[in-house]
Structure 1
Amino acid sequence: MISYNYETELQLDNEQKLSEWIAKAITEEGFNEGEINYIFCDDAYLLKLNVQYLDHDTLTDIISFDYTLGKQINGDVYISAERVRENAKDYAVSFENEMSRVLIHGILHYCGYKDKSEADEAEMRSKENYYLAQLD
């Protein structure tokens, strides 16, 4: 089950469509959908989590806590709507496009994709682009 929780004024208007898209990606990656919670917040909220749990004093667009059990994807994905909006401007893409990229990015981490090295980041981007192309 995929749920959307809002700690900010953001409200996605296509939750059902996004959930179906995410579920399809999970299945295609060879996993099963468990409980996935998206929590949308602002920079301050996410920075507090970043410092408290990851010992990083930097702004980020996403933090994901992975509770995957075997092949069942479970986790909490915190997304800063502020950071996504800024990144969309920086990358000259729509807010919706950048938000979709971040939504699938968290899931791809749960499926085992990394983004610490250049090669891993290139593979992650390729997978993100693949799934973005499937979203109308």
Structure 2
Amino acid sequence: MPDTAMAPEIDVLIEAEGWAGVDLDGVAARAVRAALDHRGIEEAEIAILACDDARIASLNADFRGKPRPTNVLSWPTEDRAPDVEGGHPAPPDDPELGDIAIAWETCAAEARAGDIPLDHHLTHLLIHATLHLLGYDHERDGDAALMEGVEVEILADLGIENPYR
């Protein structure tokens, strides 16, 4: 019997030259699908901007008031956070989940510094960002513990080591 599950729609816009040697489409498809599967979500739409540190620093300044580069940012289309600390968010009603930006220089430097394969680090960051789009967060201790645990479970399912060790 054929698989009738819908594949997520992931639009990747590569804006920075550093991404040229990376199969970001493939890494993103694997990471996003793993996060969605873990939550039992079949249909989703996500846009990913693959940029450089200058661009993400500008976005970080505009949206978070932090004028410096970061590895990944996410913008959910709506607030899906649960009211109860440490609780799982409800599945989204709308498949349009939001947008993600990921920065080449910061991600590559973090992978080198941690002696982590780049595709593993990118997978982790894209899972992390997808979970943000689904309503997970790490502002409160209970939410942070839950989000980290979910990330570790998803990564383990993909054969990727716990990045928090």
TM-score w.r.t. the length of structure 2 is: 0.71
2:4 alignment partner in structure 1: none
2:127 is paired with a residue whose SS is helix
Check the 8 A contact 1:32/1:71 in 2, yes or no.
no
Determine which structure has greater relative contact order: mean sequence separation of CA pairs < 8 Å that are 6+ residues apart, divided by chain length: 2
Q: 5+ unaligned residues in a row in structure 1: which ranges?
A: none
Check the 8 A contact 1:23/1:33 in 2, yes or no.
no
Check the 8 A contact 1:66/1:74 in 2, yes or no.
yes
Deviation at 1:103, TM superposition (A): 0.7
Spell out the pairing of 1:1-136 with structure 2 (5 A cutoff). Answer: 1-9=9-17, 10-11=19-20, 12-13=22-23, 15-16=25-26, 18-68=28-78, 70-135=93-158
The structure number with the bigger radius of gyration is: 2
Count of equivalent residues: 136
Structure with more strand by fraction? 1
2:23 is paired with a residue whose SS is coil
Deviation at 1:90, TM superposition (A): 2.8
Distance between the aligned counterparts of 2:131 and 2:138, measured in 1?
10
Deviation at 1:46, TM superposition (A): 0.3
Deviation at 1:59, TM superposition (A): 2.1
1:4 is paired with a residue whose SS is strand
Check the 8 A contact 1:31/1:111 in 2, yes or no.
no
